[in-house]
Amino acid sequence: MNREGLREKARKRIIAVAIIGSVLIIADLAVSSGGNGIKFVNSGGQIYMVRPSEEEGPAHMQMKAKVKSESGIVEKNISISLSPYHSGDGGIQQYERVLSKNEQIEYELRNIGNDFNSNTDEKKVLLPARLDTGEKIIWEQQKSTNTIPVLCLVLLVMAVIYKDRYREIEKEKKSNQASVIRQLPEFVNRMVLLLNAGLVLNTAFEKSIEESAGFKKNEKDYFYRKLKGIYVLAKNTNGSLHREFRAFAKESGMKELVRISNIINDNVNKGVELTAKLQAESEMLWLNRKKSCEERGRLAETKLTLPLIIFLMVLIVITVAPALLEI
């Protein structure tokens, strides 16, 4: 797939993520603003909570209570749950040990939440403005919403999609380069053997491509597939194999291919000695291939390290667990 196709694919994915994120945000806002919230009424300068009907079910709300005392400000989040009107009663927790001032305030605030359902026969429930000890309570309603986390997640996913829009091309490019590094030494070595056997350049080059691009080779391999394309194109158009190979080298941008094509081109145009240079290039290519294999081997060892550590830990646990259970 070309870059334009990948850009269009990434654009569609970003639009889909944006639509899904918008739906989630709207749903979250609807849930946070709706639902079985508690209704408040002001009567005689006091704030009351209205108990829901049995059809509506229990009402819930998160509130923050602030109490200023001699030892500082005590803040406590209280989850208020109002049972339906005429549905039963609740209970109040009791403390037996002596509490500090702040602990006593927190205890009373906690019991306020429990005391709301002590008598469900009352339709309106007073939201106390002071504690029994006289401290003033400041109530703040808290709305629970996940809009910001959802928005951040949506933006993060969109950014990842945009950043990796050309990932398939880069992955294919790396795979093609690996194919060239893996197969080019064999191709050059075959040319050197044919040249040393007495064949002229055009014949040796044609034989090397013909054998490398033969149908017995793996047609899924990039290098063999390109060589086959060069061979077929040159045969059908009566073109020059080394010119098609040079065009392929420039297209790939790989310095190994460019060096080989330059050596062949210099021999054709200037009569520069060929066999020795190709021999030296072949040795260098084999050395690079060896280094590439060693790097892949080290990378494989690194990837296997974590699974081996996990396996070792599991083995240790299995071995030691029975002994620990007997202690």
Q: What is the pLDDT of residue 95?
A: 40
- Cβ atoms 266, 276 nearer than 8 A: no
Q: What is the pLDDT of residue 277?
A: 87
How many Cα atoms sit within 13 Å of 59 on the Cβ side?
24
Distance from C-alpha of 88 to C-alpha of 27, rounded to nearest angstrom: 33
Contacts of residue 5, Cβ cutoff 8 Å, sequence gap at least 6? none
SS (H, E, C) 187-203: HHHHHHHHHHCCCCHHH
Q: What is the pLDDT of residue 9?
A: 83
**Under-50 pLDDT residues of the chain:** 35, 89-97, 215-216
Longest CA span, the chain: 114
- The model carries a pTM of 0.49
What are 28-59's pLDDT values in tens digits? 777 665 545 677 777 777 777 777 777 666 67
Work out the number of other CB atoms within 10 angstroms of the CB of residue 189: 18
- Cβ atoms 60, 81 nearer than 8 A: yes
Tell me the DSSP string of 96-151: -S---HHHHHHHHHHHHHHHTTS-TT-SEEE--SB-TTS-BEEEEEE----HHHHH
- Cβ atoms 154, 18 nearer than 8 A: yes
